[in-house]
Amino acid sequence: MSEKLVNAILGVFGGLTAIAYGKEILVFIISLMPILELRGGLIAAALLGLDPIPSYIISII
């Protein structure tokens, strides 16, 4: 279920990936959502092709 939500959010906010640090901002925004939190942020980071350790830190912040 969380993967479907992440894919939907990536579809809506996909334009953020065009700016500098847009992928990281998108992971941060997804990590703020109470339904998805850390798990959703890490799924989004994997789908966007980001490194695991920085993505983990971004999701925790």
Report pTM: 0.82
- Is the CB of residue 36 less than 8 Å from the CB of residue 30? yes
- Tens digits of residue pLDDT in 30-61: 899 888 888 889 988 998 999 999 999 999 98
- One-letter amino acid at 42 equals L
Instruction: Output the CA–CA distances (angstroms, integers) from residue 3 to 21, 30, 61, in the order listed.
Output: 22, 12, 21
Q: What is the DSSP letter of 14?
A: G
Domain ranges of the chain: 2-60
Q: Select from 7, 45, 12, 4 the least CA-distant residue to 27.
A: 45
